[in-house]
Amino acid sequence: MQIFTFANALTLARLILSPLMLPLLLVYFLPYNSLIINIVLTILFILLSLTDFFDGYFARRFRQVTSIGKQLDPIADKFLSYSTLIALLTVQKIFFYWVIILVGRDFFVMGLRAIAQDNGLKVPVSFLSKIRTMAMMAFMAFSILNPYQSKGVAHTWNLIEMALLGAVLLLSILSAKAYYDQFMTEMVAAGKTVDSIEPELHEKPEQNEWDEDKL
C-alpha cells in the first residue's frame, strides 16, 4: 500500500502549515491593514484551501487513494478552518460568538456521524454542507483580504464581509438541521431509538479504554 503519495503530501502540507504558519502570519501581519500584505496572505490561504480539492483529485486520478489519506484529509480541513478562525478572532476580525457557533456546529455534526457509524447507519456529507464549506472559505478569504474593517459597517467591503458571514451562519444552521433530520430518518428506518443506542455508547469504553474516536 502506498503511503507517501503526491495526494498525501498535499494533505500533509495543509495539515502542518495550517496551524503552524498561517495563524502566525495572520496575527502578526493583518493588524497592519495593508492591502498588499492582505492580498499575499489571502493567496496563501487560498492555496492551502485548494489542496483540499487537489489531494482528492490526484488520489482518484492516479489511483492513489489510501486509508491514511482518508483519515488525514478531514483533520487537515479542520486544522485549516479552525486555525484561521482563531487567528481572525485574535485580531478582532470576527466576533467570538460566531466562532463558537461555527465550531460547535462542526462538533455537533461529527458527533451525529460518529453515533451513526457506531450503529451501522450512513449519514453521508450533504450537498448543503459542501455549499456551506465553500461559503465559509470565501468568507475567511475575504475577511483576510479586507483592510477596511476600521472604516465602519457602511463601508462596501465590510457590507460584503457581513453578507458572507451571514450566509455562512445560515448555511451552518440549515446543514446541521439537515444532518439531524437525516440521522433521525436513518434511526427510524433501522428501528432504533435513543434508548437503544445508549448501551452501545456506554459499553464501548469498557471494551477497550484506548479505543478513542478517530477523526
> Which residue, 39, 62, 93, sits at the end of a domain?
93
Query: Is residue 213 predicted with pLDDT exceeding 80?
Result: no
Same domain, yes or no, for 73 and 175? Answer: no
Same domain, yes or no, for 118 and 199? Answer: yes
Query: Is residue 209 predicted with pLDDT exceeding 70?
Result: no
Q: What gap in Å lies between CA 140 and CA 85, rounded to an integer?
A: 8
Query: Is residue 78 predicted with pLDDT exceeding 90?
Result: yes
- What does the pLDDT look like over 79-97, one tens digit per residue? 999 999 999 999 999 999 9
- Grid coordinates of 169: 451562519
In this prediction, residue 189 carries a pLDDT of 85
Query: Is residue 151 predicted with pLDDT exceeding 60?
Result: yes
Helix H or strand E encompassing 118: helix 96-118
> Which residue, 40, 64, 93, sits at the end of a domain?
93
Intra-chain end-to-end CA distance of the chain, in Å = 21
Which pTM was predicted?
Answer: 0.84
Same domain, yes or no, for 80 and 117? Answer: no
Q: Half-sphere exposure of residue 15, counting CA atoms within 13 Å on the CB side?
A: 16
Same domain, yes or no, for 23 and 117? Answer: no
Residues listed for the chain: 215
In this prediction, residue 198 carries a pLDDT of 52
Same domain, yes or no, for 171 and 82? Answer: no
Query: Is residue 125 predicted with pLDDT exceeding 80?
Result: yes
Q: What percent of the chain has pLDDT over 70?
A: 87
In this prediction, residue 214 carries a pLDDT of 38
- What does the pLDDT look like over 19-42, one tens digit per residue? 999 999 999 999 999 999 999 999
Domain count, the chain: 2
Same domain, yes or no, for 177 and 132? Answer: yes
Q: 33 vs 26, 72, 137, 188, CA distance in Å? A: 11, 34, 20, 53
Query: Is residue 114 predicted with pLDDT exceeding 70?
Result: yes
Q: Half-sphere exposure of residue 68, counting CA atoms within 13 Å on the CB side?
A: 14
Q: Which domain range does residue 189 map to? A: 94-215
Q: What gap in Å lies between CA 40 and CA 68, rounded to an integer?
A: 31
Q: What gap in Å lies between CA 76 and CA 71, rounded to an integer?
A: 9
Average predicted confidence (pLDDT) for the chain? 87
> Which residue, 38, 61, 93, sits at the end of a domain?
93
DSSP string, 34-53: -HHHHHHHHHHHHHHHHHHH
Same domain, yes or no, for 25 and 112? Answer: no
In this prediction, residue 118 carries a pLDDT of 87
